[in-house]
Structure 1
Amino acid sequence: MVENVFPEIVSEFNIASLVIPITDTVVTTWIIIVILTAVSYFTTRRLSISHPPKMQIFAERIVIAIEQTLENSVNISAWVLVPFIGTIWIYVGFMNLISLIPYFHNPTRDLSTTAALSVIVFFSIHYYGIKFSGFSGYLKKYIEPSVFLLPFNLFADISRIFAMAIRLFGNMLSWEMIVAILIALVGFLVPVPMMLLSIVGDVLHAFLFGLLAYIFIIGGIQAEELKSTKEKKNG
């Protein structure tokens, strides 16, 4: 049971002399992507303002809840970041919760998955920073108040991404190992309450990962630029 918490190779691709392993993590990730894509398509294909269907109302409430959560966290307009952070919350949340389905393991127990998510966050920090502050304005933050702080600021950017990847990976892997050990020792009855509690933990870890990404992105954006965006939106 315990060894099943680690990714297993289910197939391989041979390209010339290069062998590319396909793990159960990759397969599960593909399944989640297909499911979320299908749900998004069927939810948005018949949008209506006058007579919105129930699925559209439900999706709109989710989007509004995400926006309000981000607004309340820093007290500035965050609508421009809702698509990215909202996608992280929903995507990581699904990956964490899929282990509740028999024979599925959450992809976030694989360090390669959390590393890929962290790399996306890393580039998003710089993308939004340059978008709102301009290329030269964004780079100034690395040398202020002194140019000697440049290596330390670069190290801080890289280290926080490693921290995000290892944190999510460690939390999800350790939980699967705990549940697997309990099942091996005492059977399926005792771990049931813990599995119910894990739902809260899985959602919380997804929320924290997205919130950290949001905080890091905000740190790379000039507050004045976001405030002007909020004024334009309210106006």
Structure 2
Amino acid sequence: MENELTFALGPVVIGVSLITTWGIMLLITAIAWFSTRHLDRVPGTLQTIVEGIVAAIDEAITAVAPEHGRQIMPFIASIWLFLIIANLTGLIPGLHSPTDDLSVTSALAILVFFSAHWFGIKTQGLKNYLHHYLTPNPILLPFHIISEFTRTLALAIRLFGNMMSLELAAMLILLVAGFLAPIPILMLHIIEALVQAYIFGMLALIYLAGAIQSQQLNSSE
């Protein structure tokens, strides 16, 4: 979708997708602040819902990285929550999902790219982390480097392509069928949006877990 120009700050163009992204981040921050203001031992309805979401995310992360779940939990949980809201934003009249903009999905993929290396270096140390690029054979170094960039590119394009095609398909069906089938299209949009958020977040989790545990995996081989 076209990202209409809203205004510019010098060389930086502030478009609709960027403003929507900021709005979603502010919304998540407000929800997190409001839902944790008054925590009780006997949780109410809101606290029960929040605890259930956090527990589900924690369980998914622990299944992939059991020894480092607490370390990467804030980042992965933030990615998942952002993508769920962002992907569903297209259902609001007058708005479109920021994830159908390649610049947004590229930014998310780059964030995952640098975060994976940061967590890997923080956990193993710079020397040990860089050493895994030379295993099992130093001749594979170029392939390791290429794979780092190709998977980041694939991460960005996969989410962008799926979300853009989803919104275009829904628009075309509505143009052809009118409002004869709005509910099935709405349900399809919701399901696909949740699936794409889950896939992106799970791939990010796997990349981070792989970076953190790379030295352990190499030592066990």
Common fold: TM-score over 0.5: yes
- 2:22 is matched with 30
> Deviation of residue 220 (structure 1)?
1.1
> Deviation of residue 152 (structure 1)?
1.0
> Deviation of residue 185 (structure 1)?
2.0
- 1:229 is matched with none
Q: Distance in 1 between matches of 2:135 and 2:57?
A: 33
- 1:42 is matched with 34
Q: Which runs of 5+ in 2 are unaligned?
A: none
Local SS of the residue matching 2:56: helix
Q: Which runs of 5+ in 1 are unaligned?
A: 227-235
Q: Distance in 2 between matches of 1:224 and 1:123?
A: 18
20-29 or 215-224: bigger deviation:
215-224
The residue correspondences of 1:145-156 to structure 2 (distance < 5 A) are 145-156=136-147
TM-score by length of 2: 0.90
Local SS of the residue matching 2:139: helix
TM-score by length of 1: 0.85
Q: 1:177-197: CA deviations, max 9, x gaps?
A: 111112222212224312212
Q: 1:69-114: CA deviations, max 9, x gaps?
A: 2223466552322211111111011000011111110000000000
Local SS of the residue matching 1:22: strand
- 2:117 is matched with 126
The residue correspondences of 1:19-168 to structure 2 (distance < 5 A) are 20-48=12-40, 50-73=41-64, 78-168=69-159
Q: Percent identity?
A: 39
> Deviation of residue 22 (structure 1)?
2.3
What letter matches 1:44 in structure 2? T
8 Å contact from structure 1 (residues 132, 221) kept in 2: yes
Q: 1:168-227: CA deviations, max 9, x gaps?
A: 00000001111111222221222431221211110010001000001111111227879x
8 Å contact from structure 2 (residues 133, 144) kept in 1: yes
> Deviation of residue 139 (structure 1)?
0.5
8 Å contact from structure 1 (residues 132, 225) kept in 2: no
- 1:232 is matched with none
Alignment RMSD (CA, Å)? 2.0
Q: Distance in 2 between matches of 1:138 and 1:213?
A: 18
